[in-house]
Amino acid sequence: MRAAPAARGRSRTRRGGRLLAPVAAALLLVPACQGSGDSRKEREPDPASIQWVRVPEEDTSYVFHGLRPLQVTATSTEFLVLGVPYRGTGGLYGSRDGRTWYETGPEAAFVNHVAATADGATLAGNAPNAGTTVPAVWRSTGKGKWGPAEILAGGGPSDEVLGLARGPRGTVVVAHDGGPFGEEQPSDDSYRGESLRLWTAGKGGGFGQPHVVPCPASPKLEPQVSVLADAHGFVVSARCTDTAFASKRVVLTSADGTTWKSRPELFRGELNGAGATGPRGSVLISHPESTGEEPGLYVSTFWSRGGEEAWTAGEPMDVGRLPDRGVTPRKFQSVNGVSAVTGGYIASGRALDALHGQPVGALWTSADGRRWTKAPTGKNLFHEVYDLYGAAELDGTVIALGVGAAPDTSEGSLPDSSEEPAPTRLWIGRYGARPALDRPSGLAPFVGTWNWGHGNIVIDPEGRFTYRWRLYKDCATEPAPCDNGPEWGGKATGKLAPAAGGVLRGRLETTNRPDEEGYRRNTVVELRRAPYSAVWMTVAGRPHGIFCAGGEADARCVASHG
């Protein structure tokens, strides 16, 4: 079992799922780039120069099919994306180039936070221990490799990890002992706590006992937590809402992770959201609590600091320029995540598109954390999603993830469309020039092994293919052709060639089921590419199924269908 965002029976609140709702948790996006000194800063490119290209759905990795992104970050060797997958329990994925992705994360873990710096990454969540699950962390030991679970001292089964940050002075994990949280949780609080719990570890050191701070919370309302670690130490802020709907705001700072100070005056008494730290300093977002007159509406403020410990409020965020999409007053613009990249910062979120009455993705860049310029929405196709959930940079390549509207489920739509999740979109950017995505054509995109629950098709570089499928005949009791263990009895071969419209077309040349409809010799076979690294197969003019490159990791091609 791979890393999962929540243990069985635990509920994770959808983050950013409602237009302009207050940010429920920080996306702590830490860059892979490093640098120092004024001369280096002068040579670094401005993030505003990044040119974005949306990766076509067909070329997007299967790991993003239905993935609801939570965090996007990078070390010096790989991108890391944490999210809630569609019909799955995995959740952490890595990539070196932003195009080819693989599942990563420790076994038997329930991971819901990741924090990365150039020298590695830390995961936080819950791990099995003595018949229950308790807070734990895992540290990277190399690309795609993780150390054993480190059980956090004093943690219990009701401790829900809500924040994680890693910086020059160490790592901090923030949990609340009133979990699990969610609307379906019972109303009784017999097994609930009322406190934030902070575990810290110096760089390379271990975690001690937690620092406990009162912050009563209802089991139906997950506390909003923001965590940041930078050269000055740690900043933890939270809002807890109890069963009587009374709200408490907590802001704590520490230089060493041991001694904590209450700082309620910081950020004008507003709530904190996303934050990031990098070579040029740190950025945090704050916003006021929403009011009864305009619930869910607020104006975000960017706060930044560099060499000085004090925080400075930045200029009002740029709302964009007409006639672009999503140009609207600041109270209708929301930031989900902030990341530090070469030369500055990227903020990602959404804006209400007044003309169409729906939210669209929005992205801002800044060189200093104070002045923020909104990237064009229409030019970059950000309007194809209703939210951008994060960005990260590695060796001059930048990625961003967003989620679009759910497929049409109205009368007359395709069968079973209600089962399809909202599409996740991937962007890749480069400083100063649009990246070339190198889209292969002809046979090349189809070469390889494609699987579904009861069959597979293997295509070689010359277009020759072998198709095998399950016959549901046991060789121990029935004559051949039959299924013999992992080897499926049905077999057909042929050759495919590129045809108009980017498809492959060919015929079955050999078959061991000549009397079975759809498998006779000379039957026409057609393959067409499908979103998220899959292909649609048509035999004798009738749909035959979808085959995936991800094997068992792709839920679309594990369930029985035909």
**pLDDT single digits (tens) 278-295:** 999 999 999 988 766 666
Cβ–Cβ under 8 Å, residues 482 and 489: yes
Look at the alpha carbons of 520, 521, 524, 530 in this order and tell me if their dihedral is positive or negative: positive
List the alpha helices (DSSP H) in 140-275.
none
Return the DSSP state at 340: E
Mean pLDDT across 272-277: 94
pLDDT, position 380: 97
Condensed to tens digits (0 to 9), the pLDDT of residues 404-440 reads: 976 544 433 333 434 678 899 999 999 998 988 888 8
Q: Is residue 446 pLDDT above 60, yes or no? A: yes
Q: Which of the four pLDDT bands, split at 50, 70 and 90, describes residue 169?
A: very high
pLDDT, position 9: 38
pLDDT, position 357: 86
Tokens of 466: 């072998």
| CA–CA separation, 370 and 284 (whole Å) | 11
pLDDT, position 387: 94
| More confident position, 505 or 36 | 505
Cβ–Cβ under 8 Å, residues 36 and 236: no
Mean pLDDT across 39-49: 75
Percent of the chain having pLDDT more than 90? Answer: 64
Mean pLDDT across 445-455: 91
* Whole-number average pLDDT of the chain: 86
Q: Taking the CA of residue 422 as centre, how many other CA atoms within 13 Å lie in the half-sphere pointing to its CB? A: 14
Tokens of 357: 């009455």
| CA–CA separation, 314 and 302 (whole Å) | 5
Closest residue by Cα to residue 181 from 24, 349, 387: 24
Q: In a 3-state reduction of DSSP, which class is residue 166?
A: strand
User: 275: which strand partners?
Assistant: 284
| More confident position, 296 or 366 | 366
pLDDT, position 430: 96
pLDDT, position 268: 94
CA 244 to chain centre: 33
Q: What is the pTM of this model?
A: 0.87
DSSP per-residue letters across 435-453: PP-----TTGGG-EEEEET
Burial code (b: 16+ CB inside 10 Å, e: under 16) for 48-74 equals bebbbbbbebbbbbbbbbbbbbbbbbb
Mean pLDDT across 85-97: 82
Q: Is residue 1 pLDDT above 50, yes or no? A: no
- Backbone phi and psi for residue 4, each to the nearest 5 degrees, phi listed first: -125, 150
Mean pLDDT across 77-106: 88
